Amino acid sequence: MKKIILLSILISASTLVFGQSTEISSKYDKIDKFDKEVAFVHKNGLVGLINSKGKEVIKPEYEKISAFGTDNIAYTTKGGLIGLIDVNGKVLVDNKYDKIGGFKNNQAIVKKGDAYGVIDKAGKLIVDVKYNKLVFEKNGILKAVNADGSEVLIKPNK
- Does a structural domain hold residue 15? no
Tell me the CATH number at 83: 2.40.10
- Does a structural domain hold residue 31? yes
Mean pLDDT along residues 109-128: 94
Structural domain count of the chain: 2
Instruction: Give the residue from 57, 73, 92 where a domain finishes.
Output: 92
* List of E strands, 2-149: 30-31, 38-43, 46-51, 56-62, 64-65, 73-78, 81-86, 91-97, 99-100, 107-112, 115-120, 125-131, 133-136, 142-145
pLDDT at 23: 67
For residue 105, name the pLDDT band (cuts at 50, 70, 90): confident
Mean pLDDT along residues 34-55: 93
105 or 61: whose pLDDT is higher? 61
**Same domain, residue pair 112 and 142:** yes
Domain of 150?
Answer: 98-158
Instruction: Give the residue from 92, 114, 132 where a domain finishes.
Output: 92
